[in-house]
Amino acid sequence: MNHIVEPSATLHAADIARIEAAASSTRWSERAVRDTLERPETLGWLVRREGDIVGHLLTRVAGDTAEVLTLAVLPAERRQGRAGALLHRAESSWRRSGVAEGFLEVRASNEAALTLYARHGWEEVGARAGYYADGEDAVVMRWDAQCGG
């Protein structure tokens, strides 16, 4: 695992949008990324390999609740612990700031992501029928700071 995780900022918006375009079917534009990063409730991280940004995670925190907005790693960089490192950094940050629980939606067909989240202590708590633009359902997952990864 030769990677570095660091906070993201608006200057990374183009890189994050590039990763979204390459890695996710739910793409974020550079403008949407920039607007999100400018909001005070947004926390984000990047993962770099040999200086190149290869993944990112954006979250929103409101009071003692966090939400994962997007987590993406370039396809060639997957299965090397990068998404897990991003998620671990977010969860550690949340705990330090008093977050009690986190939520996210993930495609019902995304077995790799479902496995990753389960390894980090996330539990399936519901579903959203037709949540994605293509009609696919989402699995709703919850993380508890007392129990989670």
Q: So which residues are the catalytic ones?
A: 105, 117
Q: How many CB atoms lie within 10 A of CB 78?
A: 15
Q: Which two tokens stand for residue 111?
A: 């077995």
- What φ, ψ does residue 35 adopt, rounded to 5°? -60, -40
90 and 83 Cβ atoms separated by less than 8 Å: no
**Helix/strand/coil for 43:** strand
